[in-house]
Amino acid sequence: MKELAEYMVKSLVDHPEEVKITEVESEKTSILEISVASDDIGKVVGKDGRIIKSLRIILASSAAKKGKRVVVEMLD
């Protein structure tokens, strides 16, 4: 899950070296905390949150195949 999120987020931002994704995993749920450079936050969130919503949908679909649930959080 973390690798997929990292690939997608790094392809969106101008400073991919500053992308940090922390995964907190429990039995059936994974929490992905995404941190990017301050000037790249808008590129990940998108207009009206459309890009982050799309990321959440893709990751949720991937997690559902494995019988898990995923929560995606953006950190400041």
Q: Which sequence spans correspond to the domains of the chain?
A: 2-74
Q: Which percentage of the chain shows pLDDT scores above 90?
A: 91
* 76 pLDDT tier (thresholds 50, 70, 90): confident
The confidence score (pLDDT) of residue 41 equals 94
Identity of the amino acid at 67: G
Backbone angles phi, psi at 17, to 5 degrees: -70, -15
Which pTM value belongs to this model? 0.88
CATH architecture entry for 2-74: 2-Layer Sandwich (3.30)
End-to-end CA distance of the chain: 21
Token representation of residue 21? 């994704």
Q: 20-56: per-residue pLDDT in tens?
A: 999 999 889 999 999 999 999 999 999 999 999 999 9
Average pLDDT estimate for 7-17: 96
